[in-house]
Amino acid sequence: MISENIVLVIDAGNTSIKVGHFQEDTLVGVRCFSNNDMDKFYSYLNENNSSSRVLSSVLSDKATKNIVEKTNSFLVTTEASLPIRIRYGTKNTLGVDRMCNAVATSILLKTAFGVSIDIGTCIKFDLISKNDGYLGGSIAPGINLRYRALNDYTGKLPLLFNKSATQLVGNDTNSSIQSGVLNGMNAEINGLIKMYTEQYSDLTFFMTGGDARYFDLDSKNDIFADENLTLIGLFEIYKHNG
């Protein structure tokens, strides 16, 4: 049973839902649930019904509304008051997960600029200035989306799921697809890191996301891994909104 002074911070992603337990501004535990097994998620929250809840969701409006109604959670949207400035042309289209990562990065940032790199369903780079707030970033397909696109838009290429490291030169169709997706993504991520370091001085990177562990990033850069970056940002937004 969770004690009454713990806030449950819920991050509903495209493939899984993470629940962080914050007590006195500290993350004391995390539970993860598959989107294919929502009954376990709801059962878990019912067991801890004395806790305050805050939710961010990138799911459909219908799915998000269902979670809010069943969990009695405070939903963070793009209209929420934030502890940082957002310099984005269309704030109402900014993903709440990117917004949370930006807030967490600004809290942790000790240099002039910071970049959150979130590798999950998509690869998201987001640039934060210590003085000017959130500046923008980029979105690209993640591992599963690339595998699915190769299968969906060709007649014969199989659908793969393997995320383990692979050789550069594939010696059959499966290993060639795996090399193209994983080695291509690794080069893409490291290439973007290089471009950011060339354009912005005094820069720190913060890596997060469920698929971040599958990539070998250039150790010469200041990269800090934090798999709970989104939860931290969501909790800071919750506090900021009282």
- Compute the distance between CA of residue 50 and CA of residue 23 in angstroms, rounded to an integer: 13
List the structure tokens of 29: 């535990």
Could you give the 3-state DSSP secondary structure of residue 105? helix
**3-class secondary structure, 56:** strand
Residue closest to 12 by CA, chosen among 96, 87, 85 = 96
Torsion sign (Cα): 121, 140, 192, 130? negative
Which one from 25, 39, 61, 97 is the annotated catalytic residue?
Answer: 97
Helix axes 184-199, 143-152, angle to 10 degrees: 130
What would the 3-class secondary structure string for 199-242 be?
HCCCEEEEEECCCHHHCCCCCCCCEEECCCHHHHHHHHHHHHCC
d(CA 184, CA 132): 33
Active site residue 61: no
Active site residues: 97
